[in-house]
Amino acid sequence: MKKLLRLLSMIVIIGIIVIVSTNICIYASTSSLINDDATADAILVLGCGTKDGKPSLMLQDRLDKAIELYENHQASSIILSGDPSDNEVEIMKDYMIENGIDEDILILDNEGYSTYQSLYNVKNKYSFDSVIVVTQQYHLYRALYIGIALDLDVVGASTQNARYNGQIIRETREILARTKDYFNCMLKLETDYIGINI
């Protein structure tokens, strides 16, 4: 029994070390890439859910940030990437058009099942070399790390809104998601990847 407890303790300790070290690596290698004034070929808006046929508050903040960047002439195209299961990308598109964005500059990525997949699609389906990733700051570090691993020229623009319910749970989940995508990036997956939707 003691040997089993020691083994379990070792596994837990190793797990904690892996999670902490991968998060530190991702944060250290991407924090300097968050820059609201950067320019690129395209803006990538990562989906994060809808409510009653409208963007969730978090998603609305991302879309508003993308509109701001576009109107400041920081990119000439906007990629809307999300999960097709709840018509997310169409809802994103409708919001952008309602707020004065020309449909012709919107690129709809209905295969944004995960952060990794969204960045993979930018590189391999749409052939953009540089992109401004728009999301909340806690999520930007992972998205930028994936972009770097996929040989994209990435910068991040963060929404500043902090009114979201359940943010502690969301940020805890993100710690684990960073570790997951650290290893996905290490493997450099080169085929269409549909992972856990985080």
Sheet strand arrangement including 153-159: 106-109, 77-81, 42-46, 130-136, 153-159
The answer to whether 84 and 112 are in contact (CB under 8 A) is no
Q: Looking at the predicted structure, is the pLDDT value of residue 82 above 90?
A: yes
Q: What is the pLDDT of residue 16?
A: 93
Q: Say what the pTM is.
A: 0.89
> Which uninterrupted H or E stretch holds 197?
none
Q: Distance between CA atoms of 26 and 111, rounded to whole angstroms?
A: 24
Whether residue 110 is predicted with pLDDT greater than 50 in this model: the reply is yes
Confidence (pLDDT) at 164: 81
Contact criterion met (CB below 8 Å) for 164 and 58 = yes
Mean pLDDT score of the chain: 90
The average pLDDT across 3-20 equals: 87
